[in-house]
Structure formats: structure tokens, C-alpha cells
Amino acid sequence: MTRPRRISLPEHTVEIVSDAGEGAQKAAIAFAQLCAKAGNGLWTVEIIPSEIRPPPHTTGSASGNRIRLAERSQVTNAGNLANVVLAFNEMALLSRLQAESLADDVLVLIDDQWATHENENYRVSYRDVVEQFRARGSTILEIPLQRETLRHVEDAQQGKNMFAVGLLCALYSKDVLVLQEVIRKIFKGKSKQVVDLAVKLAGAGYEYGLANLEQCFEINAVPTDVPKVAMNGNTALALGAIAAGFELCSMYPITPATSASHALSDLFEDFGGFVHQAEDEIAAIGVALGASYAGKTALTITSGPGMALKAEFQGLAVMTETPLVIVDVQRGGPSTGLPTKIEQSDLLHALYGAPGDAPKVVLAPSTIEECYYILSVARKIAEEFRMLVIVLSDANLATGQQLFDRPNVFATPPRSQLDLSPVPTNALPYAWDPTTGLSERLIPGQPGGMGVTTSLNHDRDGKACYDAERNKRGHAMRSRKLAALQQTLQRPRVHGAPEGELLLVGWGSTRGAIEEAVDMARGAGHSVSSVHLQFLSPLPPGLKDIFTKFRRVITVELNYSDDPQAPLITEENRRYGQLAWVLRAATLLDIDCFANVPGRPYMPVEILDEAKRILATMDTKSPAQRLTAVEGVS
């Protein structure tokens, strides 16, 4: 038997898709863990049908995973067009083409049972789709997935996925023994018969690959002694909530936030906490606020539509200076929108969604690793500043898996204890420091601190009042805390050179793709840099200074902006991406945006292309002129 020829590569992106329920997800998880064990850096993205039981053998039924694996241990985003796709049927394959996810020369591995299927419609559509791919320059490997699996089981539905992952193991020159170990772990708790069969099928897939593949890939890992974990952002949030010392998470189910609550529900009681599933999102934040008021800062997790329902309670948290943390795992909007897909469209709502002037802190993790740490930061700020902190995650972070350094859990500080020591009678509930607006709060149970906490305007003594002077003071003090926090923030680091032609500004989960695009652009000799904002409110210091070192500044965001070329759109009525709005207002600089709503993460190459397009338009204009303030208003 001649072994397949090995081709060494620095990285690859592979997609595995089947009908919902056929197990491509499981196969992908096993494959990702196999790669992780080998030391490959990786990022995975779930491919999820929007419906629970879509009709089989349709594009809407495609379910699976995209896996980007690399030699380097750090992979920061989902990558570019996929190099390999393994599909259980041609409609699943077609769905990836429609998603604009595959390279033209993608290597397609597809179950060949449809070529000779008794249903003529399947035969015809199989031939059509395969032809379509050939015409684009793809290589097609027709695999007897169904037939080979049937040699080991009666119902191929229950095993094709394991055969497939064995085949991938051969395709990527991985160790089949490690794969089988991974499978045993994944199937832990299933009967011995089921586990043994899965292991056997994976072995069979592997052997089939060795015997039949002409070439295979090798993506060597850079060995490291640093222990690594692989998890998705919602799991990271759940573990991070525990590490942050929260005791209560109150929520109402909503995609794509729910799985964070699932992960937390699984564990929280063992750690002395619990998840309360409230009757709606309003109650969910109300319960969290009540718990926070009672002295134990709580958390509520939701997504866009739920954020809308929480708006009034946000105002209450701000007015009463009750520490509180909201996580918004953003999805496509408005309304029900694209429930399972990524968008970064809640920034302005997070900043301004609560009626009245409601200053609050808004943070956004940019990696899955940051999802783990961010809730500790959020909680600390909420408590020290007596503020509402909103954490903006998104569907990309929520369901993607990333490999990162295992957090040192032994560095987790103990949960803070309630301080119920007496205070002097007449202690002020809002003893605002006149410079910073900061004050110590009183907690039920503290002798001497009795009094009402009210949603009405109030002064230092907490009592309702309606006059101008005390209304102005309340507003100023609540707002001042943001300035006090801003003074403690660091100037953001510029990725690339600190000055040049084009600066890309991002926030949230687009960081990896933006920085990779910058690296590619710089590698090709273009003067492009980027800066990433973790704090959206308050904005970090030094932005204007950083921006004015470049000729053009554009935000890169996954939200809607009007195309300047579209009918009726003028400079006067054009709507910008959300961060662009914020930065234009904050700096009075003419900041543009690359803001779009594809319902999937940006690929680095898309950002690169946009950067090159902008640079090309700039070259035609007069030479080096730095970005200056908008005329007449600076």
C-alpha cells in the first residue's frame, strides 16, 4: 500500500457539514480536540441551522463546523475561505457556497451515495452541484461514506460522522490512537458498545484514508509546555462568572446568550451560586438588581431583544448607583433578526438605550480568552464605581472555540464578604466625593444605614428632591465617575506602526481578523495599522492623538452603514457604523467606516481588500496630509 504524499502547510481551514442530526458537529468537536492535543492553534465556528427540524437534504438543514487550524498556537479568528469541505450531501455542500465560505479551489470530500441513489431528484441535484464545484476549480473526492459505514453498522446515520472524522485524521496526518482516545472521552457515559463502535468506525475511516488518499496535509504544531484550554466564549463567560465571585445570575432564555446560562447552570450550585430563570427579561434584571442592592452584585445575561426590555431597569441601576453587570451576547437585529448569527449592532443601545441621561460602563471582549477574564473586571468596576457595567459579547465569540492558555484558577481571589458593620446614624447613602463622584454604599443589615433608595432624583442624603441645584448635582456626580474611571485607563496600543496612511479601528470579536489583515497588508508593504477598543464607555485616553497620526481612519464593524454609492445616500444623510458615530462625536474627526451585516465574522482578506481599496483612492489625492478636525468646529 502506498501512503499518501504529505504536503506541509502553516495552516488550513476545513468545514464539516451534514444534515442536522447526522453528527457533523460531534465529528468536528472530535477533530478540533485532536488538533488541539497535537498542539495546533485553532478557532472553530459552529454552522447552525436556524430551525430545530429543518427538512433534510436542503441547504437550510446544513449543520456542522468550520475549523481553522494552524502551526502557531494562537489563532485569533475564523480565517478566510475554507480549503477543505467534507459534506454528507450535496445540499449541505451547496449551503457553504451560498455562505461565500469556500475557496474556489476547495478540496471537496463528499458522500458518493447520492450519485446512484434511488431517488432521481437526489441523483440530478448531486450531479449538478458537483459539476458546479468542478467548474469553479475545486477538486472533488467522492467518498463511499455511507457504503463503508454500512459495513460496520446497520444504520449509517449512527456512525458516518465517526468514519468521517477518521478520514480527516488521515487527511491531516494525525495520530489515530489520539483520535480514538478523544472519542472515548467525548462519548464518556455512553454504553461500551456505542463507544467501541465509534472508535472502530474512526479507525476504519482512517484506514480508508491511508489506502485511498493520494495526498494528505501536515500542519505541524509548535510544541509548548503551557497548558491550553479550548472552549467557546459562552463557556468562558460562565467559568469567568464563577471566578469573578458572582453568586447569582438571573436570565431569560435567548439565543445566542442561552448557552452561557446552560454552562453556568451546570456548575454554579457546586460553587455556591445559582442561575435564576426569570419570567421575562425585565424580571431577570430586576432580580439581579435586587440581589445587588442587597449587597451581592449579580449578573444578567441576554441578547438584543432582551436588552430592549431591560432598558428601564438600567436607568434604575444608574439612578440608585447599584452595581450591576449585564452581558449582551449580540445577534443580528433589529427585532428577531438573525437569532443565531453575529452582528455588533447593540453598541448604541448599550450606550444610550436607557432613557434619561444614564452614564454607564460598556466593555467588549475581543477574544474568547477575554470572555473568561472580563467579568472579573466588570464586577470590580461595578462595585468600586457603583455603576452599571454592560459587557458586549457576540454570536461569534459565543459559539466559536479558541485555544488559549489555561487560566491559573488558583490566582482567583476569595469571594468578598459582606461588610455589615454599623455606620453612624445619618450616614449619607451618597457621600459623593465632589471630584470623582465616588461614594461608599450602605447595605441592608448595616445598623445605622436605614433609609430609602429611590428612583427619584435625590441628593447626598438619598431623599427625593426636585429642585434644579440638586438635580444638577446628582447628574454631575453620576457622570463624573465615568471621567474618574477614564483617567485610570491606558492609552490603547496601536497594532502596526504608530503613524501612517490608514488606521483601522475595531471593537469586540473582530480584533483577530483586523490584526491579521493589518499584518498581511504590512507584509505587502502597505501603511496600515489598527487599534482595538475594549472600553467603549468611557473611551480610553489618547484616541484623537492616535488618529491624527494617520491620513485616514475607518472603523471596521459588523453592523449596518449606508453604502455611499447607494441611491439617495448623500454625505448629509448617510448613516455610519455605530462605533464610527461614537468616535466622530468624541473626536470631531472625519472617521469613516467599513460596516456591514453579512451575518458571519469578517474574513481577514475582506478587510485587507477594503484597506487596499481605500489606500488606492487615497493615492490619487494630494500627498501626505494627516487627518484633521472637521472644518470649522475643532
Partner 1 sequence: MSAIAKESLLEVCAADTHTLEDYDAERPRWCKGCGDHGVLAALQRVLRKNNVEPENAVAVSGIGCSSRLPHYLNTYGFHGIHGRALPIATGVRLSRPELPVIAIMGDGDCFSIGGNHWLHAIRYNINAVVLVLDNEVYALTKMQASPTTPDGWKTNTTPRGTYLHPLNPLSAVMGMTNVSFLAQTATWLPAHLDETIEKAWDHHGLSFVRILQRCPVFMPTAFGEGGVHFPVVFLEHEDGIPIHPSLLNRGPAQPHDHRNINEAQRVAVTVDPAPMGLLYQNPEVPAYEEIRWQRKAKPDYETFLQRLDAAMDNYTVS
Q: Pairing mode, if any, of strands 361-363 and 388-394? A: parallel
Nearest CB to partner 1, comparing residues 416 and 628: 416
Q: Pattern of binders to partner 1 over 557-596, x per CB under 8 A?
A: ----------------------------------------
Using the minimum distance from each CB to partner 1, give the nearer residue, 82 or 316: 316
Taking CB under 8 A as the criterion, which residues in 380-439 touch partner 1? 403, 406-407, 409-410, 412, 414-415
C-alpha dist (Å) from residue 225 to 11, 39, 71, 358, 406 = 21, 10, 15, 47, 11
Binds partner 1 (CB under 8 A): choice among 27, 69, 231, 485: 231
What is the smallest separation between the CB atom of 334 and partner 1, expressed in angstroms?
23
Distances in whole angstroms, Cα of residue 12 to Cα of each of 69, 106, 313, 328, 604: 6, 11, 46, 32, 14
Is the CB of 213 or the CB of 318 nearer to partner 1? 318
Residues 80-119 that bind partner 1 (CB under 8 A): none
SS3 state at 137: coil
CA–CA separation, 634 vs 621, rounded Å?
Answer: 23
Among 51, 196, 218, 279, binds partner 1 (CB under 8 A): 279
When asked if residue 282 is in the footprint of partner 1 (CB under 8 A), the reply is yes
Give the span between the Cα atoms of 291 and 364, in whole angstroms.
24
Binding of residue 445 to partner 1 (CB under 8 A): yes
The residue among 154 and 225 lying less far from partner 1, judged by its C-beta, is: 225
The residue (of 320 and 527) whose beta carbon lies closer to partner 1 is 320
- In order of 65, 90, 300, 444, 552, the CA distances from 86 in angstroms are 10, 10, 39, 59, 42
Per-residue burial over 270-289, b = 16 or more CB atoms within 10 Å of its CB, e = otherwise = ebebebbebeebbbbbbbbb
The beta strands (E) that lie in 207-359 are given as 215-218, 228-232, 248-251, 274-277, 299-302, 324-330
Contacts with partner 1 in 304-333 (CB under 8 A)? 312-313, 315-316, 320
Which residue lies nearer to partner 1 by CB, 230 or 347? 230
Nearer Cβ to partner 1, position 203 or 315?
315
The secondary structure of 369-413 as a DSSP string is HHHHHHHHHHHHHHHHHT-EEEEEEEHHHHH-EEEEEPP-GGGPP
Q: Judged by CB, which is closer to partner 1: 248, or 603? A: 248
Nearest approach, Cβ of residue 575 and partner 1 (Å): 32
Residues 24-63 that bind partner 1 (CB under 8 A): 33, 36-39
Secondary structure (3-state) at 289: helix
Pick one of 267, 489, 605, 618: the residue that binds partner 1 (CB under 8 A): 267
| Residue 300 to residue 312: CA distance in whole angstroms | 14
Kindly report the number of other CB atoms within 10 A of residue 50's CB atom.
11
Q: How far is the CB of 564 from partner 1 (least distance, A)?
A: 42
Q: Tell me how far, at minimum, the Cβ of 362 lies from partner 1, in Å.
A: 22
* Options 49, 79, 333, 449; binder of partner 1; rule CB under 8 A: 449
CA 596 to chain centre: 16
Q: Does 247 sit near partner 1 (CB under 8 A)?
A: yes
Identity of the residue, 102 or 403, whose beta carbon is nearer to partner 1 in the bound complex: 403
Q: Which of 194, 211, 222, 450 binds partner 1 (CB under 8 A)?
A: 450
Decide: helix, strand or coil at residue 267: helix
Report the b/e string of 415-424 with b at 16+ CB within 10 A: eeeeeeeebe
Cβ distance to partner 1 smaller for residue 216 or 403: 403
List all residues 6 or more positions away from 288 whose beta carbon is below 8 Å from its beta carbon. 248, 249, 250, 298, 299, 300, 324
| Residue span binding partner 1 (CB under 8 A) among the ranges 247-255, 474-482, 515-523, 536-544 | 247-255
Taking CB under 8 A as the criterion, the residue among 12, 160, 276, 310 binding partner 1 is: 276
464 binds partner 1, rule: CB under 8 A:
yes
268 binds partner 1 (CB under 8 A): yes
Which among 277-285, 301-309, 580-588, 616-624 is the span making contact with partner 1, rule CB under 8 A?
277-285
**Cα–Cα distance for residue pair 134/128, rounded to 1 Å:** 10
